[in-house]
Structure 1
Amino acid sequence: MDRSLKAFSLILSYPTQDLQAAMPEIGGVLAADRRLTAVTRRALRPLIEEIAQSDIYDLEERFVMLFDRSRTISLNLFEHVHGESRDRGGAMVSLMETYREAGFEPMTSELPDHLPVLLEFLSTRPTTEARETLADAAHIFQALAARLERRESLYAPVFAALSQLSGATADVEAVAELLEEPETDPNDLDALDAVWEESEVVFGPDPNAGCPQVRDMLSRIEATTPQTPHPAAE
Structure 2
Amino acid sequence: MVLLFRAFSALLSYPTPEMRAALPEIAGVVRGSKLVAARERQELLDLIGEIGAGEQLAAEERYVDLFDRGRALSLHLFEHLHGESRDRGSAMVELKQIYAAAGYDLAASELPDYLPVLLEYLSCRDIAEAREMLGDCAYILNSIARSLIGRRSRYAAVLQALIVIAGESAVGASTVPPIKDRKEILDRDWFEQPAFGAPTAGPPTP
- TM-score calculated relative to the size of structure 1: 0.72
Q: Are 1:66 and 2:66 counterparts?
A: yes
User: Partner residue of 2:117?
Assistant: 117
| Highest RCO, 1 vs 2 (Cα 8 Å, sep ≥ 6) | 1
Q: Which structure 1 residue ranges, 4+ long, deviate > 2 Å from structure 2?
A: 184-189
Which residue identity is paired with 1:83?
A: G
User: Would the alpha carbon gap of residues 90 and 37 (structure 1) be closer, same or farther in structure 2, given more than 3 Å must change?
Assistant: same
User: Would the alpha carbon gap of residues 51 and 188 (structure 1) be closer, same or farther in structure 2, given more than 3 Å must change?
Assistant: closer
User: Partner residue of 1:147?
Assistant: 147
User: Would the alpha carbon gap of residues 31 and 16 (structure 1) be closer, same or farther in structure 2, given more than 3 Å must change?
Assistant: same
User: Partner residue of 1:27?
Assistant: 27
Q: 2: distance between equivalents of 1:169 and 1:158?
A: 14
TM-superposed CA distance for 1:43, in Å, is 1.0
TM-superposed CA distance for 1:4, in Å, is 0.4
Deviates more, 1:80-89 or 1:95-104: 95-104
User: Would the alpha carbon gap of residues 42 and 212 (structure 1) be closer, same or farther in structure 2, given more than 3 Å must change?
Assistant: closer
In the TM superposition, what whole-angstrom CA distance separates every residue of 1:139-185 from its partner, at most 9, and x where no partner exists? 21222111111111110111000111112358xxxxxxxx9xxxx94
Q: What secondary structure sits across from 1:149 in the alignment?
A: helix
User: Partner residue of 2:51?
Assistant: 51
In the TM superposition, what whole-angstrom CA distance separates every residue of 1:104-162 from its partner, at most 9, and x where no partner exists? 11226232100000000011012111110001111212221111111111101110001
**Identity %, equivalent residues:** 48
User: Partner residue of 1:128?
Assistant: 128
In structure 1, list runs of 5 or more residues that go unmatched: 171-178, 197-210, 214-234
User: Partner residue of 2:75?
Assistant: 75
Number of aligned residue pairs: give it: 189
TM-superposed CA distance for 1:187, in Å, is 11
Matches within 5 A, 1:1-234: 1-107=1-107, 109-169=109-169, 185=182, 195=190
Q: 2: distance between equivalents of 1:36 and 1:103?
A: 28
Whether the 8 Å CA contact 2:52–2:59 is kept in 1: the answer is no
User: Would the alpha carbon gap of residues 119 and 108 (structure 1) be closer, same or farther in structure 2, given more than 3 Å must change?
Assistant: farther
Which residue identity is paired with 2:103?
A: G
In the TM superposition, what whole-angstrom CA distance separates every residue of 1:17-62 from its partner, at most 9, and x where no partner exists? 1111100010111111122110110111221012223311111111
- TM-score calculated relative to the size of structure 2: 0.81
Deviates more, 1:146-155 or 1:99-108: 99-108
Q: 2: distance between equivalents of 1:73 and 1:123?
A: 23
User: Would the alpha carbon gap of residues 51 and 94 (structure 1) be closer, same or farther in structure 2, given more than 3 Å must change?
Assistant: same
In structure 2, list runs of 5 or more residues that go unmatched: 171-175, 198-206
Q: 2: distance between equivalents of 1:140 and 1:98?
A: 19
Aligned-pair Cα RMSD in Å? 3.1
